Structures are given as structure tokens and as C-alpha cells.
């Protein structure tokens, strides 16, 4: 099964709660991951808050096109809970 993100919720500072298609709900802190040209604008917290799930790529994305692979986020995240399996 390929991992996809189905929902994102801003949790404060550089933390996001993500719900994955495998049923996992994880919190990720991206503060130490915002380096490089495409991620620098995300250091502005107001811009960071503009995160959304891109329905085409099925991962989180910001208005400037910055995104992270679902597999990376799944590994980085701390489990909040395991919900029912998603299809």
C-alpha cells in the first residue's frame, strides 16, 4: 500500500497533525526540516499555517509548491492514535 495523507490540522508552532490512509494519526514537528530554498518561506509561521492536502499528490503542500513525502512524514511523526483502516 502506498502511503497518502488524507487530512492535516495545524497544531501550533511548526507542528501538524496528519491522518494517513493506513489509519495512523501522527503529529510531526517540522521546525528542523525547513531548510533549503523551497522551504525557507515556511519559516514564516503565517505562511506555514497555509498548509493543505493536495488531492493530486495526496500529501501536504504549501502555496509555493513545497511539500514532503508521506513516507518521510509517517516515519518522522509521533503516533497520536490509530484510527480505522482507510481505503
What percent of the chain is modeled with pLDDT above 90? 91
Does the structure show a pLDDT above 60 at 2? yes
Rounded to an integer, what distance in angstroms lies between the CA atom of residue 15 and that of residue 84? Answer: 23
- How many other CB atoms are there within 10 angstroms of residue 54's CB atom? 13
Does the structure show a pLDDT above 90 at 26? yes
Does the structure show a pLDDT above 80 at 20? yes
Q: Average per-residue pLDDT in the chain?
A: 94
Domain limits of the chain? 5-20+29-82
pLDDT per residue over 36-68, tens digit each?
Answer: 999 999 999 999 999 999 999 999 999 999 999
pLDDT at position 29 is 98
Amino acid at each position: 500500500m502506498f502511503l497518502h495523507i488524507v487530512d492535516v490540522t495545524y497544531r501550533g508552532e511548526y507542528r501538524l497533525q496528519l491522518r494517513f490512509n493506513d489509519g495512523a494519526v501522527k503529529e510531526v514537528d517540522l521546525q528542523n526540516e525547513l531548510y533549503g530554498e523551497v522551504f525557507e518561506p515556511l519559516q514564516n509561521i503565517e505562511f506555514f499555517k497555509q498548509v493543505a492536502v493536495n488531492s493530486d499528490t495526496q500529501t501536504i503542500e504549501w502555496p509555493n509548491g513545497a511539500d514532503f513525502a508521506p513516507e518521510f512524514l509517517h516515519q518522522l511523526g509521533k503516533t497520536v492514535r490509530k484510527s480505522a483502516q482507510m481505503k
